[in-house]
Structure 1
Amino acid sequence: MTTIAGNTTRPASVTPARPAPARPRVYWTAFAVLMTLTSLWSLATPVVSGPDENVHVIKAAAVVRGDLYGRSAPGNPGAGEVDIPAIYAVTASYPVCFAFRGGVAADCAPELPRGEAAEQTMTASTWVIRNNPAYYAVVGLPTFLPPGEYVFYLMRLVSAGLCSLVLAWGFVALADVTRRTFVAAGVATALMPMVVYLNSIVNSSGLEISAALTLWITLLALVRAPDPARLTSRMAGIAVVTVVLLNSRGLSPLYIAAIVVMVAVVVGPWATVRRTMLDRRSWPWLGLVVAGTVPALWWTLSAGTLEGGGGGHPELGFRTTANRTFFETGDFLLVAIGRFGWLDTSLPTLGYVAFAAVGGFLVLLAFLLGDRRGRVAMVSVLAVAVLLPVIVHAWQASNVGYIWTARYSMPLYVGVAATAGFVCRDAFIELPRRLAERTLNLVASLMATGLTLALVVTLRRYTIGDQGSWWGVFDGPWAPPVPSAVLLGIHVVASAAGARLLARLARD
């Protein structure tokens, strides 16, 4: 017999939940899979071909050389000029020949400076100069190596490592949860191709999204699946992830506040939240969060991260911008599934339909079969994910212009999938394990297959152009530093390993 939330009868056929697997094994296995997948994406695309990747590279090269603020750029006080080696400075115009031109292969890009010319100091401008320098201080370290194209790929791999280290902790939190099959399915649907892609390039949005997803999972596990024996380790993980998220981007503190409020007040039982806050084992880790909040807010406020250099767009009023941003939410959702490069590389229409169907499956189940609190939680999280970006952008637009894009909303979007997983977990508390595991296997397999197909689409776009033959992936005018066939072969194995990992986590 199958029952849903609200029925306290437990059928004899239901097998008790298995204990959580060993944390170190889960963490390093998850890291290995995530790092492999993300590294393959890092190597599959040309240098600075990601959205705004060139200005993030310039910022990173400046930060590690001690220039945190730059000089105000003439005519654009929101940007900053910095003096860096020429090989990084020229990236300001490097992708011009193929960016926003999906039919043009990446072989059109000029050669990067070499030898002494690459090391000469050159002035470059970047409009992310006011971003928190923490992320850039790490990913910029490879720029101290002898200049060459390989350095850009090393910077990507460092960024991929940071994102994978943070995201792997979310899998540990997942493994701590009993009856975790639907939670694992929710995590799988949150890992859309765009999440992996942003983790594979030099852009602080990747770290922000990965840290936000991990924070959603860990907080939801804390309040929806409480375990006093694991309180200290859970709070330690939450504190570290929160500090990382705080210092990733200027809007991150606001997103953290929204996530905490959603989980503590709407999603999780308040009694559990209260017990956690009053438990002295939580206090040192709450103190760490406070200690990490101070420098993050100080930088954002003192550097003017959210100001963009002054009111240069009076035509973008609050109501006008809010209306336009709200009605572009549908396009933001498509981009959040996957639109690569300088947002000029789209999946086939059928791909978007398939990903939307898989991603919406758990959300629909949560709405239909969740208890009253679960339905309220889903409505609230969805409303925040859609409306908070509208409000923030409408508030900022008169200063920074109309700049909003999907990656700025994705720290909230991934929370919808994670919340749906927990709501379904409680709605199907008595569901026979075999049926739940089959559901997870199907979701994870579809997501893994879709991720590989998304990589093929991206490879074709750069090797021969998005109108070229699919066989051009293997012999087009441009080629990645590792042969496409090797990249795709390893990706198939790694994505299958990721689906297998989720399936095993649900069975352990």
Structure 2
Amino acid sequence: MSIIPGTPADQAHRTGAATGTFVGIFALLSGLMILWSLATPLMAYPDEPVHTIKAAAVVRGQILSETGKSFGHGVHVQVPSYIANLQAQTCFTFHREKTAACAPNVPMDDDYLTIGVTSAGLYNPMYYWIVGFPSLFMSGAPAIFAMRILSALISAVFYAAGLTALNRLRHPKWPIVAAAISITPMVLFLASGINPNSLEIAATMAAFCGFLVVLENSSQLKVVRPAVITVGLSMVALANTRSVSLVWLLCAVVVASLFYKWKDFTALFRNRLVLVTVGVTAVGVALGLLWNVLMLNAPPAAGEAPLGISNATGDVKPYNAFLTMLDRAFDFVTQYIGVMGWLESSLPQAVFMFWNMLLMLVLLFVFLIRRWRLQIAFLVALGMLLLVPSVMQALLVSSVGFIWQGRYSLPLFLIAVIGAGMSFRFRRFRLGRPAESMTRLFLVTAVLAHIYGFLYVLRRYVVGIPDFGNWQTMITNPGWQPPLTWEGLTLLYAAGMFVAASMLFGYLFPGSSLFPTPRFLARLTKPVQGPARPQGNA
């Protein structure tokens, strides 16, 4: 039975297909992120101790910073003792040669309330209230892993929503390829730790992708209702994550608007669904803005910036900081790809070489197009990636010093890479054996790069990375083992990556497989046909 386009049956079919796509992507990304959560030792994510303490405090009702509880190192809160003492787990940070075995066990029964100190006192409590929930009924290391997994699931929801939205574009293949490139090992790593930076990156990506689809379908928004909802939820999440997150949202809106005409943008505000969504979203955004205003009057030292290079002498002027950021712009690219831990666990150079090649190809492809509007949109996104962090660091250098890290710019990085895919999306995506062979080569290499990076990070914590090769020690004498062992996690991660590559290949080349059946097997399995029977006259 055929489905007539535009009918309720057609809309129901599209909705069902989109739901199936979302569920499949969400399940896959969740699995990969959870594996990262298990493979990474406790407190090995940037600033994870202070964010874990903040989450445990917020979920217990300690939301506002009060006078008398704010001191030079942050806010004093009442949290379970095993969480208050998590700083002891960071004995291996900044020491690449030291394994995670130096960290003491997290006691299961050490759950009486005591004083914990967090420097994230000014951060919006929404993310922490959700992530801290497992600590109410669990204890010890299982509670912290559960908090990590919950954080990973939240990020996976937004990444899956963004990728599902891209699929509703009229020419979606190149943007989806670019989105796949933008999900670097660093993106998966950060999404699996306890840090609002993970939600910030994922929600920005979802808002950008959803807004692209909404603009393209501004005259028929009823067919892309999930994209409208995605934009609304992403806006609320960004308004209630960190104060700087609204800057990423503004950048996403500006870049997405440049890909379309002004009439597409203005048409949105004549649609009832958009107006209702804006009204509901405005409440959540207003709450986020209200929190930022309240924190302007917070007690001194309620939230010092974690992990920064101090500028106590005041020698660095804002314009010097701006120029320094411009000078270091390309240095941050490695942190977009994979500098894990507390910026001391870099991926091997082979992984950087592969992703640098992909990023250069994406950059050069943009200049093969003839539509100047699309080129300008990408160049604006690229300019934002270069200039916005520089301006923000210049504004902050006098008060907190040089605190900028590559992970802070990852929202802009994802916008720029996906924006590149949007720029050349009208170029025909070639089919046929040569295109399949080339895509198969790139995908298999990408899978191997992901696996190699995952295994390399495991090696850093299992046996350390000294100045000599010690891969064999991982097998013969591992100094530390994560849950499910490093061997089990690597096999699961490899399986998940190959499933992801197969899904993407099948989407790009319908009816084809990432691993085609060899010819001799195809001949053996080919059904035998008997001689044609002569057909008589009717």
Q: TM-score, normalised by structure 2?
A: 0.84
> Residues 51-86 of structure 1, C-alpha deviation per residue, up to 9 Å, x if partnerless?
111111011111111111345689955721112111
User: Partners of 2:71 and 2:370 in 1: how far apart?
Assistant: 51
Equivalent residue, structure 2, for 1:495: 497
After TM superposition, give the deviation of residue 391 of structure 1 in Å.
Answer: 0.5
Matches within 5 A, 1:202-241: 202-224=194-216, 228=220, 229-241=222-234
My pick for the range that moved more, 299-308 or 33-42, is: 299-308
Equivalent residue, structure 2, for 1:109: 103
Equivalent residue, structure 1, for 2:518: none
> Residues 19-58 of structure 1, C-alpha deviation per residue, up to 9 Å, x if partnerless?
8980111011001100000011100011111111111101
User: Partners of 2:313 and 2:484 in 1: how far apart?
Assistant: 45
> Residues 123-171 of structure 1, C-alpha deviation per residue, up to 9 Å, x if partnerless?
2211111111111101111111342211111111111111111111112
1:99 aligns with 2:100: no
My pick for the range that moved more, 268-277 or 154-163, is: 268-277
1:432 equivalent among 420, 423, 430: 430
Equivalent residue, structure 1, for 2:253: 260
Q: Is the 8 A contact 1:193 1:454 kept in 2?
A: yes
Q: Secondary structure at the match of 1:119?
A: coil
> Residues 424-468 of structure 1, C-alpha deviation per residue, up to 9 Å, x if partnerless?
112x0x443447666655544433322211100100000000125
User: Partners of 1:256 and 1:443 in 2: how far apart?
Assistant: 32
User: Partners of 2:196 and 2:435 in 1: how far apart?
Assistant: 36
Q: Is the 8 A contact 1:186 1:420 kept in 2?
A: yes
2:127 equivalent among 131, 135, 138: 135
Equivalent residue, structure 1, for 2:513: none
Q: Is the 8 A contact 2:173 2:429 kept in 1?
A: no
Q: Is the 8 A contact 2:74 2:119 kept in 1?
A: yes
Distance verdict in 2 for CA 1:167–1:134, change over 3 Å: same
User: Partners of 1:370 and 1:406 in 2: how far apart?
Assistant: 32
Unaligned runs of 5+ in 1: 1-18
Equivalent residue, structure 2, for 1:248: 241
Q: Secondary structure at the match of 2:479?
A: coil
Distance verdict in 2 for CA 1:74–1:135, change over 3 Å: closer
User: Partners of 1:270 and 1:142 in 2: how far apart?
Assistant: 46
Q: Which amino acid aligns with 2:166?
A: L
User: Partners of 2:186 and 2:485 in 1: how far apart?
Assistant: 22
User: Partners of 2:443 and 2:213 in 1: how far apart?
Assistant: 20
Q: Which amino acid aligns with 2:256?
A: V
Q: Is the 8 A contact 1:38 1:200 kept in 2?
A: yes
Equivalent residue, structure 1, for 2:56: 61
Q: Secondary structure at the match of 2:74?
A: strand
Q: Which has the larger radius of gyration?
A: 2
Equivalent residue, structure 1, for 2:168: 176
Q: Is the 8 A contact 1:362 1:424 kept in 2?
A: no
My pick for the range that moved more, 410-419 or 311-320, is: 311-320
RCO higher in structure (CA 8 A, sep ≥6)? 1
1:47 aligns with 2:42: yes
Aligned length: 484
My pick for the range that moved more, 453-462 or 222-231, is: 222-231
Equivalent residue, structure 2, for 1:448: 447
After TM superposition, give the deviation of residue 320 of structure 1 in Å.
Answer: 1.7
Q: Secondary structure at the match of 1:122?
A: strand
Equivalent residue, structure 1, for 2:522: none
Distance verdict in 2 for CA 1:419–1:370, change over 3 Å: farther
1:83 aligns with 2:85: no
* Identity across the alignment (%): 26
Distance verdict in 2 for CA 1:20–1:283, change over 3 Å: closer
User: Partners of 1:112 and 1:43 in 2: how far apart?
Assistant: 15
> Residues 372-415 of structure 1, C-alpha deviation per residue, up to 9 Å, x if partnerless?
11211121110011100111111122222221111111111100
Equivalent residue, structure 2, for 1:327: 327
Distance verdict in 2 for CA 1:445–1:184, change over 3 Å: farther
1:471 aligns with 2:472: yes
Q: TM-score, normalised by structure 1?
A: 0.89
After TM superposition, give the deviation of residue 225 of structure 1 in Å.
Answer: 6.3
Q: Secondary structure at the match of 2:105?
A: coil
Q: Which amino acid aligns with 2:457?
A: T
User: Partners of 1:211 and 1:201 in 2: how far apart?
Assistant: 16
Equivalent residue, structure 2, for 1:7: none
> Residues 206-261 of structure 1, C-alpha deviation per residue, up to 9 Å, x if partnerless?
11111111122122233346671424332122111221222122211121112112
Equivalent residue, structure 2, for 1:344: 344
User: Partners of 2:219 and 2:508 in 1: how far apart?
Assistant: 18
Q: Secondary structure at the match of 1:48?
A: coil
Q: Is the 8 A contact 1:313 1:400 kept in 2?
A: no
2:136 equivalent among 137, 144, 153: 144
Q: Secondary structure at the match of 1:369?
A: coil
User: Partners of 2:67 and 2:294 in 1: how far apart?
Assistant: 15
1:200 equivalent among 192, 195, 218: 192
Q: Is the 8 A contact 1:339 1:347 kept in 2?
A: yes
Q: Secondary structure at the match of 1:80?
A: strand
User: Partners of 1:106 and 1:258 in 2: how far apart?
Assistant: 39
Unaligned runs of 5+ in 2: 1-13, 306-310, 511-538
User: Partners of 1:113 and 1:293 in 2: how far apart?
Assistant: 40
Q: Secondary structure at the match of 1:382?
A: helix
User: Partners of 1:74 and 1:329 in 2: how far apart?
Assistant: 39
User: Partners of 1:370 and 1:173 in 2: how far apart?
Assistant: 26
Q: Which amino acid aligns with 1:470?
A: W
User: Partners of 2:334 and 2:66 in 1: how far apart?
Assistant: 37
Q: Which amino acid aligns with 1:53?
A: E
Equivalent residue, structure 2, for 1:418: 418
After TM superposition, give the deviation of residue 313 of structure 1 in Å.
Answer: 6.5
Q: Secondary structure at the match of 1:403?
A: coil
After TM superposition, give the deviation of residue 505 of structure 1 in Å.
Answer: 3.5
Equivalent residue, structure 2, for 1:303: 295
